[in-house]
Amino acid sequence: MLYKSKLTLVVLIFSFTSVFSQDTANYSAFKKQISNSDKNQSIGNSENLFKDFSISINYGYTQFDGDIRQYDYFSSVQTGLNYQDSDFKELRSAYSFSLEKKIDEKFSVSLDYVNGEFAGLRRPNEYEGYEIDIPYPDVFNAISAVNGQKFVTTFNEVDVLLNYDLSSNVAKLIKIELPENISLIAKFGIGYNSFRSLRTNLYSDEYIYGFGYEDMTKNESDEVRESVIIYGAKIKYELQDGLSLLADYSVRNSMSDTWDSSIMDGGNGGDRFSLFSFGLAYEFTKKVNVKN
């Protein structure tokens, strides 16, 4: 009788242990399934949050085009200046940061931030037949302006751009199929530019009063803000999934004639500058991989 009781107890303990182990395994499997589901949902939410977004950063050189520029089609450098160690160059540097949202296969919109400098010089022989802007000739030496000028402008700018992929249109036009990892993109938009400008004599570095200088004793203009119109194009070369190399050329057109602190009758009119740059673009959602 005692033996049968012990045997019955062993069978009950074994059965309870088996059922408990099975329930534990089922609970662990269910918990893992819930965890994976939450993980997939979290990743899915991240994908939706950053879906079709990309960021890019570019660095390049600016070339001004306006009243104070020596040549029409290439940049100029003034050497042999005693007041500074290096030569004065029209080419200056700038960088840009862009956040882009894809609308469909052809269109996207982007918000750009651009920061840098642009500059220009003009030697005396280029002023024949032009009336130079000298607001206070009795206060400042007018001869200093006539005998060559230069300027440097520092700026910050925020742009809103519409981008259009021209790849298929270009392929049809030239009757050559472009590689899938190359995109040709046109862009157009508007911006808001904030700048300060300094205008001086090219050879002596003597201060020349100009537009934007509200205090006649300071050697830089007050901060001036104005709207700009932007157009340009870029080439996008995809290096690997989600990462691309960019070559970008854009022209920014001022709504006035004041970027070089000079308003010259008979001059070039509205000021503008071009930015040629290279950079990298990263597309968020192409790098998200779901692992169980």
**pLDDT tens for the chain, residues 1 to 292:** 444 444 454 444 445 445 445 555 554 555 555 555 555 555 555 556 667 899 999 999 999 998 888 988 889 999 999 988 899 999 999 999 999 999 988 999 999 999 999 999 988 876 655 555 555 555 455 555 667 889 999 999 999 999 999 988 888 888 888 888 899 999 999 999 999 888 888 998 888 776 655 554 455 556 788 899 999 999 999 998 889 999 999 999 998 888 888 776 555 567 999 999 999 999 987 544 444 4
Q: What is the domain extent for residue 99? A: 53-287
Is 232 in the same domain as 91? yes
Provide the strand spans (E) within the chain: 53-65, 77-78, 88-89, 92-102, 107-122, 149-165, 182-201, 224-240, 243-254, 272-283
Q: Quick check: is 292 in a domain?
A: no
pTM to 2 decimals? 0.75
Is 30 in the same domain as 61? no
Segment holding 172, helix H or strand E: helix 167-174
- Label residues 155-180 b or e (16+ Cβ within 10 Å = b): bebebebebebebeeeeeeeeeeeee
The separation between the first and the last C-alpha atoms of the chain, rounded to the nearest angstrom, is: 54
Radius of gyration of the chain (CA): 32
Is 99 in the same domain as 130? yes
- Hunting for tokens 């080419």 — which residue is that? 91
Is 7 in the same domain as 77? no
Q: Is the distance from CB of 123 to CB of 146 less than 8 angstroms?
A: no
Q: Quick check: is 93 in a domain?
A: yes
Q: Is the distance from CB of 212 to CB of 221 less than 8 angstroms?
A: yes
